[in-house]
Amino acid sequence: MLDLFEEKEICAILRRTFVTRAADIALHAGKAGATDDVGIGAGEEFLRGLEEWERRLFKKAHDGTKGTKEWMEGVKKH
């Protein structure tokens, strides 16, 4: 998408917007990672507002958070 614009300022704004949005999605996914299910309650409404790429990012971040939690629980047992 950045190839469409020649102005550096527009490209910088788009980059910042992308990074901010990705961080917001990861934050929501981490909160959802505290439970076993994706899309519970208010998180379900958030998921409905995501496009396909953002849903995939959410799922990967959620799975990573959940996997880390499971790993930490295993470490604590040993």
Domain definitions of the chain by residue range: 8-77
| This prediction's pTM | 0.70
Length of the chain: 78
Average pLDDT, the chain: 84
pLDDT tens for 23-46 read: 999 999 888 756 555 545 656 778
Task: Give the integer Cα–Cα distance in Å for 26 and 4.
Answer: 27
Q: What is the sign, positive or negative, of the torsion defined by CA atoms of 5, 24, 57, 44?
A: negative
